Amino acid sequence: MNRLITLILLVGAWIIFQSSEKEATVLDKDQSLYEALYQLGYKSVDHSPDLSIAGASAQVGEDLVKFGFSDIEGQLKSKRQSKHFVCTSCHNIEREDPDVSVSDPEARLEYVVKKGLPFLQATTLYGAVNRTDFYNDDYIKKYGDLIQSAKHDIRAAIELCAVECAQGRELHDWEVESILAYLWELQFTLGDLNLDENEAMIIQKALNGDKMEMQAIQILESKYLKHSPAHFVDPRPRDKHSEAPNTGDVQNGKLVYDVSCKHCHLNNRYSYLNLDDSSLTFKWLSNKAETYSRYSIFQIIRYGTHAKHGKKSYMPRYPIEKMSDQQLEDLKAYLDLMAE
Amino acid sequence: MVIKINMKYAFIIYLLLLGFFELCAQESKPVHQTFGDRRIINTQSVEMLPVRKLDFRVGHRFGDLAGSGGGWSTFYGLENASDVMIGFEYGVTENLMVGINRTKGAGPLRQLINSFAKFRLMTQGATKTQPVSLVVLGLTTVSTQPKSETEGVLHFFESPIHRWSYHLSVLTARKFNERISVQANASWTYRNIVPAGDSNNLPAVGLAGRAQFSKSLALIVDTTFPISAFRTSENQFYPAIGLGIEFNTSGGHVFQMNFTNTRGISETDYIPYSQSNIADGEFRLGFTISRLFSL
């Protein structure tokens, strides 16, 4: 009898051991990245929102990001921030890269099309609080010293975006904290980081206190970009008299036109220039493409336009990380085909 | 040349056009830019200003190009101004816009302040049962010209109410394809004081069209036929006819250059008082400049 009891206890202990070991390797993919990092001993970042400021709330922040103002019942009212743009004019608020550790416009286009998102000039706000650097690389050419304070300070970056990018008014402190609180809700989760089984197991063990914290932090930090690269390039030199066939992929070009150009231009959404699917539009774009003017897709996409007195609405340029030269060729091929 | 317009036929044509629009193929997407601007030439179009956009407009009608008042002596009318309009329009909602402008005035009443509201009832293609766009326009005009000391002239203004006139029109338009748009109008104008023999009530019908040649260039035409036994060519009244070219600069500017026989610009002016005969060279160059601002 004693032997039988001993055997039952042993089997029970083995089952408990097995199940607890299995649980230890299943990572909670919905766990926020910062929560995991803090648990691993990562030093806290200085851009967590200060919700002690009167009026600050993530709900207000969400309204500001999506609509440019907030008039939620029982909360402080926020006047329209910009006459021209809202945050989502140029930023997605969803994940837009299949692999958040690289900035690959080709992969991003495919990914956003599948998710029904636009393909935009600015980096998604999803995961913005997980970044440490803002207005990176060549943005200094555009904004000069203005980016110095915003380079490592997300609050200053939000203010700069409101005033310079959106050409609107300055934000109040409680509005900045509200936006930050909303962005905090958009931080990466562990499920966004494309961890393989081994990496997931190491992280889970570290989270369970198995002394692999540094390794786990290193793995996590290698899985996302802490800054969004942005390099401004000139349009590729073009020979408008060349009779060489366009090598662009027409299907890909259609995607660029639909989720990029039309996002802002269809029915004059953000622009006086209406771009639709009419043959007149395609002919016009195709004919202007090789010209040296702002109506050339190559010129406008690479250089954008600038806000000026009396006409503050403008088109931001696409850094090479946001639209590749091949995607531009694809767009040209599509426009040429549709113009025929 | 004597022009006689059978008003019954004009009205029947208008009704037929409405019926034709109803029978046209039906879309399921709202149609954008039936016309390039809120005005065609003389007539308002079904286009509305976007919300919170302010439009500053300047319209100009020069003098007669030819005929006794034109030619070299007036540099083909360019040295005269038949009418000038300066005003603002504003998009209140997606379906409501308002405007106010001052026109010099070309009829018997001058120095006109015109204010209007335009309301969109229907957008072509917004639902499958909406084959046309339908807009209603209401306009009031007050003449601010000094009271005359001479009895018997319209601007004697025996009563201040005589300064006022009103206009209501229904605009129906369809964009048939990316190149062709047609609009039919029915309107009613009421003037508190009119010349002897005229009637205070003045119904009218109109037709307008737009042919888009390229992304930025379009040909526009509009006509307005007052339905009034008093308005015959024997009495020196003629339908308002306009032909123009519209340039869209894609940057918030629409520049329009037109030729029309009307001297006045506002509806309460040009519909009752179009007394220029194209056949006599009494038509003129006009232009409209429009600039949009975001508010």
Residues A147, A264: one domain?
no
Residue A231 Cα, gap to closest chain B Cα (Å): 28
Last residue of a domain, one of A173, A190, A207: A190
B52 CB neighbours in chain A (<8 A) are 83
CB contact under 8 A, A283 and B214: yes
For A281, name the nearest residue in chain B, comparing CA atoms only: B215
More confident residue, A22 or A335: A335
Mean per-residue pLDDT, B114-118: 98
- pLDDT of A307 higher than 60: yes
Residues A185, A302: one domain?
no
| Interface contacts A/B by beta carbons within 8 Å | 35
Residues A266, A166: one domain?
no
Instruction: Considering only the beta carbons, identify the residue of B32, B178, B295 that sits closest to A279.
Output: B178
In a mutational test of the A interface, the residue from B210, B215, B254, B294 whose CB has the highest number of chain A CBs within 10 Å is B215
A274 CB neighbours in chain B (<8 A) are 32-33
A243 pLDDT band (50/70/90 cuts)? confident
The pLDDT value recorded for residue B8 is 61
Arithmetic mean of pLDDT over chain B: 91
Last residue of a domain, one of A142, A157, A190: A190
Residues A184, A270: one domain?
no
A280 CB neighbours in chain B (<8 A) are 178-179, 212, 214-215
The structural domains of chain B, ordered by start, are: 7-294 (2.40.160.40)
The three-class DSSP label of residue A129 is: helix
What are the residues whose beta carbons fall under 8 Å from the beta carbon of B122, sequence distance 6 or more? B130, B132, B133, B134
Residue A212 lies in a domain: no
More confident residue, A3 or A264: A264
The pLDDT value recorded for residue A22 is 46
- pLDDT of B27 higher than 80: no
The pLDDT value recorded for residue A26 is 78
A245 pLDDT band (50/70/90 cuts)? confident
B152 pLDDT band (50/70/90 cuts)? confident
Mean per-residue pLDDT, B205-221: 95
Total Cβ atoms within 10 A of residue B273: 23
Tens digits of per-residue pLDDT, A246-258?
Answer: 789 999 999 999 9
DSSP B74: G
Residue A107 lies in a domain: no
A279 CB neighbours in chain B (<8 A) are 178
CB contact under 8 A, B32 and A313: no
Residues A254, A181: one domain?
no
Flag whether residue B29 sits within 8 Å of chain A, measured between CB atoms. no
Residue A235 lies in a domain: no
Flag whether residue A293 sits within 8 Å of chain B, measured between CB atoms. no
A101 pLDDT band (50/70/90 cuts)? very high
Flag whether residue A267 sits within 8 Å of chain B, measured between CB atoms. yes
The pLDDT value recorded for residue B11 is 62
For A305, name the nearest residue in chain B, comparing CA atoms only: B251
More confident residue, B27 or A48: A48
∠B228-B288-B95 over CA atoms, to 5°?
Answer: 75
More confident residue, B256 or B94: B94
CB contact under 8 A, B252 and A311: yes
Mean per-residue pLDDT, A121-141: 96
Amino acid making up residue A160: L
The pLDDT value recorded for residue B1 is 42
Residue A164 lies in a domain: yes
- pLDDT of A113 higher than 70: yes
CB contact under 8 A, B251 and A83: no
Flag whether residue B292 sits within 8 Å of chain A, measured between CB atoms. yes
Segments of chain B assigned E as strands: 53-64, 81-93, 96-103, 112-122, 133-143, 164-175, 180-191, 201-212, 217-226, 240-248, 253-260, 284-294
Q: Closest by alpha carbon to B64, among B285, B214, B254, B293?
A: B285
CB contact under 8 A, B214 and A84: no
Q: Which residues sit opposite B224 in a β-bridge?
A: B206, B240
**B51, B91 Cβ separation under 8 angstroms:** yes
A242 pLDDT band (50/70/90 cuts)? confident
Residue A218 lies in a domain: no
For A310, name the nearest residue in chain B, comparing CA atoms only: B293
Mean per-residue pLDDT, B261-284: 95
Structure ipTM: 0.82
- pLDDT of A60 higher than 90: yes
A296 CB neighbours in chain B (<8 A) are none
DSSP A270: S
pLDDT > 70 fraction of chain A, expressed in percent and rounded = 93
A312 CB neighbours in chain B (<8 A) are 294
The pLDDT value recorded for residue B3 is 47
Residue A261 Cα, gap to closest chain B Cα (Å): 15
Mean pLDDT lowest for which of A41-50, B132-141, B211-220?
A41-50
Mean pLDDT lowest for which of A92-106, B125-139, B201-215, B247-261?
B247-261
Arithmetic mean of pLDDT over chain A: 91
The pLDDT value recorded for residue B2 is 43
Residues A85, A174: one domain?
yes
B203 pLDDT band (50/70/90 cuts)? very high
Residues A156, A256: one domain?
no
Domain of residue A164, residue span:
58-94+114-190
Q: What does pTM read for this prediction?
A: 0.86
Residue A205 lies in a domain: no
For B33, name the nearest residue in chain A, comparing CA atoms only: A267
CB contact under 8 A, B294 and A284: no
Structure tokens at B253: 């500017």
More confident residue, B64 or A308: B64
The pLDDT value recorded for residue A25 is 56
Residues A269, A180: one domain?
no
Which of residues 94 through 123 in chain B touch A, CB cutoff 8 A?
Answer: none
CATH code of residue A305: 1.10.760
Which of residues 205 through 264 in chain B touch A, CB cutoff 8 A?
Answer: 212, 214-216, 250-252
- pLDDT of A200 higher than 70: yes
Counting the structural domains of chain A, the total is 2
The pLDDT value recorded for residue A18 is 57
Structure tokens at A224: 């996302």
Ranges of H-type helices in chain B: 7-23, 267-270
Which residue's structure tokens are 């930023």? A91
Tell me the pairing of strands B81-93 and B253-260: unpaired
Total Cβ atoms within 10 A of residue B51: 14
Mean per-residue pLDDT, A61-90: 94
B216 CB neighbours in chain A (<8 A) are 284
Structure tokens at A243: 């009779």
Flag whether residue A312 sits within 8 Å of chain B, measured between CB atoms. yes
The pLDDT value recorded for residue A212 is 86
Residue A26 Cα, gap to closest chain B Cα (Å): 48
A47 pLDDT band (50/70/90 cuts)? confident
A71 pLDDT band (50/70/90 cuts)? very high
Which residue's structure tokens are 């379906």? B95
Q: Closest by alpha carbon to B94, among B40, B53, B129?
A: B53
Residue A237 lies in a domain: no
Flag whether residue A268 sits within 8 Å of chain B, measured between CB atoms. yes
